[in-house]
């Protein structure tokens, strides 16, 4: 009864094209952002923010990136971890070699470097399609891992091949505490979510979806496949690069090349599949699911068996449950959690009189 | 023979022989892709599962051939279960969903294999000595392991048997019909589910052989499942749906990879085997996007 659009008339074209046409959606969204800014610091402990919320927000950015490429443009990619790695390492190099650069600019530059790399990786996509392309993106994944494992220049000459991120500050205000990091990441998430949402509902987003649905047909109606595919790769890896940089600077603080391995690429892919392909909301749901799942499984394992079974078995069981749940989800709802949400919303609009 | 030339030939032959092993793993992918259009990411986990099952049964003191038979039976059961539980409800879904399901299967099998058996490194002795071929070494100065030769022979025989099985007879015809068009095959009365189970069982057999051969080399352990990643460039080079492509692709990748590692590796930093094969395959794909023997992709709007 609360969720009703009755009486909300769209009297102008602007209002018809609004990002959230229903008033209740806007309220919920504003409430969520306000809660994330004001409420979270009061109710969540340092441990929860540093361990769960910051990675969750970072994965959201990464997932939006991959969703643009795979969910909206239909180009299957197994190399998202590589884009994140490029972002993280270039952010490190910008920040340590040119210390005068403001940190936000560093992250954006890192995203741009990742975008250039993404365009390079995506350039065969015009000729190579489907699974062939997926395997080609795997090549990028292994190549990047090798580069960062082999050449000390990228880690500033450290023999351990580990990068320790330098201290950050914004206009002289040092970012040190967990909460500072949280706000920095949150700011990026809000801006980049808006950016992503607006991109996919603009002309370029529609051309991506046309390419996804059938690229030959899209070409016939005047969409340039080169431009659409490469722009999708660029935007996607920009998001990935920023996420990687945030991951290195605000979450783990010290990374080596193993931090962005194939498993990371698959993890982001899981997020968008479970959350929902071609849905920005799905990125949030999927990221929350994938971040929470191991934690819940761990808690359950410790709660029920209270440390009686060896940890190796727990980790194996975790793998099994993880894999099993993914198959289960795909069977039950191949369109992801976002579809469940949409269905629920439709029900709510008519409740309690569905006829 | 000139020692440097002998070394080059040695590298080339070693590459070709390891290429045969890659083809074997790639074959597992091709079988499933041909019959159902699924890119089976879980092939590596199947190799691990098969090899672990085999080695643990051997360690219980069971006879070698019986152990193979039991492991094979386990793989067949696995194939039937996968078809029943995973593939049947997902029928007519887009290929990317099926691909994701096999990634889920990959995790499940990795966990399952190591939970049922264990995660230790198990030595495996197939009774084939891993020693140089002495008479060749004496006469031409080329060092090649007898084990490599044997495994190449085993792979060759297996490939021939499978190729024969898939070309001739009732099942072979049904398989080719299913590969051509799932729905058309179903409408003329070919039992699709049965065929899929057979194909997954065949992929299980390939995984068992690959797991046993790689297992003697590397020890049966988790890292054996990464062998599948080695087979992916072979797959895109040869084409996803060509058995001949898998074999030839494996040979090309194996040889060029070894040559690149030995002659190019030292120049640009070493350890390039993780991606050089992909690079070779990519270069090739630019000119022939459907792979060596892949079917020409015809797009209709």
* Per-residue pLDDT reduced to its tens digit, A245-270: 999 999 988 888 888 988 899 899 98
In a shared domain, residues A15 and A53 = no
Q: Does A195 have pLDDT greater than 80?
A: yes
Residue A338 forms part of a structural domain: yes
Residue A170 within any structural domain of the chain: yes
Predicted local confidence at residue B270, as pLDDT: 66
Provide the pLDDT for residue A57.
95
Do A7 and A99 reside in the same domain of the chain? no
pLDDT tens sequence across A313-325:
777 888 888 888 8
Tokens of residue A213, six digits: 């649905």
Nearest-neighbour CA in chain A from B72: distance (Å): 22
Backbone angles phi, psi at A194, to 5 degrees: -60, -45
Give chain A's domain count. Answer: 2
Cβ contacts of B275 on chain A, cutoff 8 Å = 139, 142-143, 146
Q: Does A137 share its domain with A220?
A: yes
Q: What is the pLDDT of residue A306?
A: 64
User: Residue A309: pLDDT above 70?
Assistant: no
3-state helix, strand, coil in chain A (%, to 5): 75, 5, 20
CB A240 within 8 A of CB A188: no
Same domain as A83, residue A180: yes
- The answer to whether residues A15 and A72 belong to one domain is no
Nearest by CB to A330, which of B100, B108, B270? Answer: B100
- On average, the pLDDT of chain A sits at 88
Q: Determine the pLDDT at residue A307.
A: 60
Q: What is the pLDDT of residue A248?
A: 93
How far is C-alpha B16 from the chain's CA centre? 15
Q: Which of A277, A326, A327 to mutate to probe the B interface, most B CBs <10 Å?
A: A327
Measured between beta carbons, which residues in chain A are less than 8 angstroms from residue B85?
A: 327
Q: Is residue A228 in a domain? A: yes
CATH number of the domain residue A301 falls in: 1.10.3470
Whether the per-residue pLDDT at A286 is higher than 90: the answer is yes
pLDDT band at A24 (very low <50, low <70, confident <90, very high): confident
Q: Are A65 and A4 members of one domain?
A: no
Question: Same structural domain for residues A229 and A342?
Answer: yes
Interface contact flag, A330 B105, Cβ < 8 Å? no
Phi, psi of A255 (to 5 degrees): -130, 155
Q: Are residues A178 and A140 in the same domain?
A: yes
> How far does A314 lie from chain B, in Å, by closest CA?
9
Q: With an 8 Å Cβ cutoff, are B101 and A326 in contact?
A: yes
Contact B285 A127 (CB under 8 A): yes
Most B-contacting residue of A73, A131, A310, A317 (CB-CB within 10 A), to test interface: A131
CB atoms within 10 A of CB B85: 15
B4 close contact with A: CB closer than 8 A: no
Cβ-defined contact of B93 to A124 (cutoff 8 Å): no
Backbone angles phi, psi at A164, to 5 degrees: -105, 120
Q: Are B140 and B78 in contact (CB under 8 A)?
A: no
Q: Which residues of chain B are under the pLDDT cut of 70? A: 1, 130, 134-142, 269-271, 294-301
Q: Is residue A355 part of a domain?
A: no
Q: What is the DSSP letter of A166?
A: P
Cβ-proximal residues to B148 (8 Å cutoff; 6+ apart), any chain: B14, B17, B18
pLDDT at residue A67 in the model: 95
The shortest CB-CB distance from A146 to any of B89, B233, B275 is to B275
Q: What's the pTM?
A: 0.88
Q: Are B26 and B89 in contact (CB under 8 A)?
A: no
By CB atoms closer than 10 A (0-12, 13-18, 19+), residue A307 is exposed
pLDDT winner (highest mean) among A213-227, A290-304, B116-130, B259-273: A213-227
HSE at residue A301, side-chain half, CA atoms within 13 A, is: 20
Does B95 lie at the interface with A, CB-CB under 8 angstroms? yes
HEC string of chain B equals: CCHHHHHHHHHHHHHHHHHHHHHHHHHHHHHHHHHHCCCCCCHHHHHHHHHHHHHHHHHCCCCHHHHHHHHHHHHHHHHHHHHHHHHCCCCCCCHHHHHHHHHHHHHHHHHHHHHHCCCCCECCCCCCCCCECHHHHHHHCCCCEHHHHHHHHHHHHHHHHHHHHHHCHHHHHHHHHHHHCHHHHHHCCCCHHHHHHHHHHHHHHHHHHHHHHHHHHHCECHHHHHHHHHHHHHHHHHCCCCHHHHHHHHHHHHHHHHHHHHHHHHHHCCCHHHCHHHHHHHHHHHHCCCCCCCCCCCCCC
A contacts of B286 (beta carbons < 8 Å): 124, 127-128
Q: Are B274 and A145 in contact (CB under 8 A)?
A: yes
Both tokens of A184, joined, read 């920095």
Do A204 and A269 belong together in one domain? yes
Q: What's the pLDDT tens digit per position in A10-23? A: 888 888 888 887 88
Find the CB nearest A313 among B106, B115, B297: B115
**Nearest C-alpha neighbor of A131 from the set B204, B103, B167:** B103
A329 CB neighbour count, 10 Å cutoff: 19
Q: Are residues A22 and A55 in the same domain?
A: no
Interface test with A, best of B93, B106, B107 (most A CBs within 10 A): B107
> Considering the domain boundaries, does residue A285 fall inside one?
yes
In a domain, A62, yes or no: yes
**Residue A158: is its pLDDT beyond 80?**
no
Indicate the SS3 state at residue A20. Answer: coil
- Nearest neighbour of B93 by CB, restricted to A127, A318, A334: A334
Structure tokens at A135: 């395997």
| DSSP helix/strand/coil, A175 | strand
Of B104, B112, B229, the CB nearest to A330: B104
User: Residue B106: which residues within 8 A CB-CB, separation 6 or more?
Assistant: A323, B41, B42, B44, B45
**Within a domain: A172:** yes
Query: Judged by CB atoms within 8 Å, which residues 35-64 of B form the interface with A?
Result: 39
Structure tokens at A206: 């529609």
Residues A182 and A292 in one domain: yes
Judge contact between A305 and A318, C-beta under 8 A.
no
Chain B residue numbers with beta carbons less than 8 Å from the beta carbon of A77 are none
Q: What is the pLDDT of residue A352?
A: 77
Domains with residue ranges and CATH for chain B: 3-287 (1.10.3470)
Question: CA geometry: angle at A151 spanning A149 and A152, to 5°?
Answer: 95
A98-153 confidence digits (pLDDT tens) = 888 888 999 999 999 999 999 999 988 888 888 888 888 888 898 998 888 888 88
Answer yes or no: are the C-beta atoms of A211 and A74 closer than 8 Å: yes
The DSSP bridge pattern shows strands A168-170 and A173-175 to be antiparallel
Per DSSP, A167 falls in state: P
Residue B175 token pair: 């398989």
One domain, residues A203 and A100: yes
B275 vs A143: CB contact, 8 Å cut-off?
yes
Please determine, for residue A192, whether its predicted confidence score (pLDDT) is greater than 90. Answer: yes
Rounded Cα gap, residues A200 and A206, in angstroms: 7
Distance from CA of A40 to the nearest CA of B (A): 33
Task: Tell whether A286 is covered by a domain.
Answer: yes
pLDDT at A84: 95
B232/A214 Cβ within 8 A:
no
- Domain extent for A141: 44-350
The mean pLDDT of A266-281, rounded to a whole number, is 90
Please give the share of chain A, as a percent, with pLDDT higher than 70.
98
Q: Looking at the complex, report in whole angstroms how far the Cα of residue A230 sits from the nearest Cα belonging to chain B.
A: 16
Pairwise CB contact (< 8 Å): A334 & B97 = yes
Residues of chain A found within 8 Å of residue B96, distances taken between Cβ atoms: 70, 76, 277
């Amino acid at each position: 009864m609360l969720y009703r659009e009755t009486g909300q008339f769209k009297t102008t074209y602007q209002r018809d094209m609004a990002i959230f046409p229903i008033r209740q959606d806007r309220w919920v969204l504003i409430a969520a952002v306000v809660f994330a800014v004001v409420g979270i610091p009061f109710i969540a402990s340092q441990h929860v923010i540093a361990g769960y919320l910051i990675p969750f927000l970072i994965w959201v950015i990464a997932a939006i990136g991959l969703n643009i490429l795979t969910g909206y443009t239909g180009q299957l990619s197994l190399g998202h971890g590589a884009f994140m790695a490029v972002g993280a390492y270039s952010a490190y190099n910008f920040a340590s070699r040119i210390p005068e650069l403001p940190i936000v600019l560093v992250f954006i530059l890192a995203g741009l470097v990742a975008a250039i790399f993404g365009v390079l990786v995506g350039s065969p996509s015009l000729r190579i399609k489907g699974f062939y392309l997926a395997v080609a993106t795997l090549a990028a994944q292994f190549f990047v891992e090798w580069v960062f494992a082999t050449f000390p220049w990228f880690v500033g000459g450290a023999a351990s091949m580990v990068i320790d991120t330098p201290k950050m500050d914004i206009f002289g205000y040092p970012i040190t505490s967990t909460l500072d990091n949280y706000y920095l990441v949150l700011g990026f998430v809000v801006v980049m979510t808006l950016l992503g949402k607006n991109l996919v509902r603009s002309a370029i987003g529609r051309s991506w979806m046309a390419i996804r649905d059938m690229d030959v047909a899209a070409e016939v109606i005047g969409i340039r496949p080169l431009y659409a595919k490469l722009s999708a790769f660029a935007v996607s890896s920009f998001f990935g690069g920023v996420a990687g940089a945030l991951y290195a600077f605000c979450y783990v603080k010290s990374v080596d090349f193993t931090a962005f391995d194939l498993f990371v690429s698959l993890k982001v892919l899981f997020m968008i599949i479970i959350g929902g392909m071609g849905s920005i909301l799905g990125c949030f749901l999927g990221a929350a699911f994938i971040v929470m799942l191991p934690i819940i499984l761990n808690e359950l394992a410790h709660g029920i068996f209270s440390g009686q079974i060896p940890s190796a078995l727990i980790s194996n069981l975790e793998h099994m449950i993880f894999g099993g749940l993914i198959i289960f989800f795909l069977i039950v709802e191949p369109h992801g959690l976002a579809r469940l949400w949409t269905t629920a919303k439709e029900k709510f609009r008519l409740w309690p009189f569905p006829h | 023979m000139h020692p440097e030339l002998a070394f080059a030939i040695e590298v080339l032959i070693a590459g070709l022989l390891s290429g045969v092993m890659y083809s074997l793993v790639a074959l597992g992918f091709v079988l499933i892709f041909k019959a159902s259009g699924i890119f089976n990411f879980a092939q590596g986990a199947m190799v691990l599962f098969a090899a672990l099952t085999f080695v643990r049964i051997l360690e219980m003191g069971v006879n070698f051939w019986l152990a193979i038979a039991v492991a094979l039976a386990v793989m067949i059961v696995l194939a039937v279960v996968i078809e029943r539980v995973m593939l049947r409800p997902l029928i007519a879904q887009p290929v990317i969903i099926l691909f994701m399901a096999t990634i889920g299967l990959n995790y499940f099998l990795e966990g399952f294999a190591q939970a049922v058996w264990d995660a230790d490194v198990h030595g495996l002795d197939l009774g084939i000595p891993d020693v140089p071929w002495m008479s060749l070494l004496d006469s031409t100065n080329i060092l090649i392991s007898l084990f490599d030769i044997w495994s190449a022979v085993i792979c060759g025989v297996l490939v021939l048997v499978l190729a024969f099985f898939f070309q001739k007879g009732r099942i072979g015809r049904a398989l080719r019909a299913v590969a051509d068009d799932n729905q058309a095959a179903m409408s003329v009365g070919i039992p699709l589910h049965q065929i899929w189970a057979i194909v997954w069982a065949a992929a299980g057999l390939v995984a068992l052989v690959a797991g046993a051969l790689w297992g003697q080399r590397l020890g049966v352990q988790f890292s054996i499942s990464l062998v599948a990643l080695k087979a992916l460039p072979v797959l895109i080079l040869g084409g996803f749906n060509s058995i001949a492509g898998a074999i030839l692709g494996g040979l090309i990748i194996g040889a060029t990879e070894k040559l690149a590692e030995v002659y190019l590796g030292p120049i640009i930093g070493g350890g390039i085997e993780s991606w050089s094969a992909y690079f070779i395959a990519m270069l090739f794909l630019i000119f022939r996007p459907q792979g060596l023997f892949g079917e020409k992709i015809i797009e209709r709007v």
